[in-house]
Structure 1
Amino acid sequence: MQKDVFSSLIAKQSRYLKPHAMKYTGDEDDAKDLIQDTLLRALLNYDKFREDTNIRGWLFIIMRNLFVNNYRKNKMKMLSLDTEEAIQLPSYITADSHLNITQIYAMISELPCQHQKPLLMHMEGFKYEEINLQLYSPIGTVKNRIHLARKRLKNRLV
């Protein structure tokens, strides 16, 4: 399919995206951003679209994936340090937790060794698959170790 034909198909379908975007975001401006990101992603990946596929459904899947990925990114909070260095912390460790970065790292260093590295990598923004490849551990093991490390940290904070 030619790119200009594909672009016109996308343009015709764009009006159907707003109700779904509003359902995901609940905010007019965020919905517009999500629609724009969806259309951009679709146009950038037009070569992956198969002509026998429902284009509206394909756009809805792109939108859902974008929303889920953005939700995951936004779920992590940024903690600014005095040195202007920043790390991502799990959502239960907030800036008002009255912990400084030294205390947080001290708590992490008290975790079992096999839990420290996956958690630190996850906090740095690595995805489970990337951690899996770097640590040569099965994906289920990586997820379990991060889960257990978070659980132990959370129990210490409560």
Structure 2
Amino acid sequence: MKSSTLLALLATAITPIVAISGQATTTRYYDGLEGACGCGTSSGAFSWQLGVASGVYTAAASQAIYSSSGATWCGAGCGTCYNLTSTGSSPCQDCGTGGDAGQSIIVMVTNLCPNNGNAQWCPAVGGTNEYGYSYHFDINAESEVFGDNVVVNFEEVACPSAAVSDYSQCVCAA
């Protein structure tokens, strides 16, 4: 291997990962399936329910959060946590009621919200969804968390220890 190629590989390997933050759209789903990070079983339901015991919800994240390469299994975003704070508004007049501004939750990424088939909400890397946002979280919750299709301010945070313990059961944790 040429020394210039080796140096380039080493530089890439030690480049710090920058935490992602900004504004994002949100939606909600509830299927309890394994998801792209391999949490749960192949037959369906999670063996643990984040949001119930640990206070952390699980979410499918758009490709820019899930993995910069757009991978569909064990993306770099698997197991990362984000604090989502409601702005109180929805991204458009006909796509939700918004919610209470200032409410916050923590979500852990356990699934991918791919652009293919979901372009309305889930943007491709470097693009935006139909509402002009580069990021999206599809929150796994049986009922509304803090409103209907709320725009949120988000920032990456350290995962609470209970969520880290739960995530250790996922295929992509290894």
- TM class by shorter chain equals under 0.3
**Rg larger in 1 or in 2?**
1
Question: So what's the TM-score if we normalise by structure 2?
Answer: 0.26
Structure having the larger proportion of residues in strand: 2
Structure having the larger proportion of residues in helix: 1
Which protein, 1 or 2, shows the higher relative CO under an 8 Å CA cutoff with sep ≥ 6? 2
